[in-house]
Amino acid sequence: MNGDLAGALSLIKDIEGKITADMSVLKACDFVVCPPFVHLSTVKEHAKACTLGAQDVSEKPNGAVTGDISGAMLANIGVHYVILGHSERRQFHKEADELVAAKALAAHAHGLVTIVCVGETESEREAGIQNDVVGKQLAGSLAAGTSHKNTVIAYEPVWAIGTGKTATPEDVRAMHAFIRGELVSKYADAQDFRILYGGSVKPSNAAEIFAVEHVNGALIGGASLKAEDFLGIAVCC
């Protein structure tokens, strides 16, 4: 929930300009930008190298659901991706795995690719139950019909979001390998799923993170609010 209309417009123009100026970055990465709902249409007008994503979607198709946005509405204005189950939605809006799965099913019905977030809190990691937590989230949050074509997984250790803390390369390797293993146990196309890392990713640590096996990209938070930082991460991929 950042920025006004002028800020959103300035940011997308800056990002697009920097990508276009360095075609090697454009060829190496797929870019998705997920502005607040009220800025989606404006950003869409200027997003050429970047694909448009939303930050959430309703599990309902339409009707008396005041304040919600449906998958049909998002698809109709050119949205292709939607973030689901972000730690902030799980924590502050009490979204359970079952709701995330229902939202994913609704999103897939309209051709949207879901970026499904999973991750443990600091207390859960300290208790050594991070695999149990993430395994349960994966099992409960992925909709029927999930495949690498309609779903991206994002691992975001809650304790490393906006805190300045970053999981060590070994932490990331272990969890991403675990997630891949969970996918392998359920999906024939498990090796084709993209698994993103999201937790205080910035230009100074991106290369180290991207070098870890099974890290296929990043879910970028605060650094995405500055085009220079956003593209500084991309050039490390």
Catalytic residues: 86, 156
Q: How far apart are alpha carbons 31 and 49 in whole angstroms?
A: 7
Cα-to-chain-centroid distance, residue 99:
17
- The rounded radius of gyration (Å) of the Cα atoms in the chain is 17
Residue 2 vs residues 5, 11, 66: alpha-carbon distances, Å = 10, 11, 22
Locate 34 and state its tokens.
């997920």
Cα-to-chain-centroid distance, residue 191:
18
Q: How far apart are alpha carbons 95 and 107 in whole angstroms?
A: 16
236: nearest Cα among 194, 202, 197, 185: 202
Q: How far apart are alpha carbons 137 and 92 in whole angstroms?
A: 17
Q: How far apart are alpha carbons 5 and 42 in whole angstroms?
A: 8
Cβ(34)–Cβ(12) below 8 Å: no
Cβ(56)–Cβ(69) below 8 Å: yes
| Neighbour count for residue 79 (Cβ, 10 Å) | 26
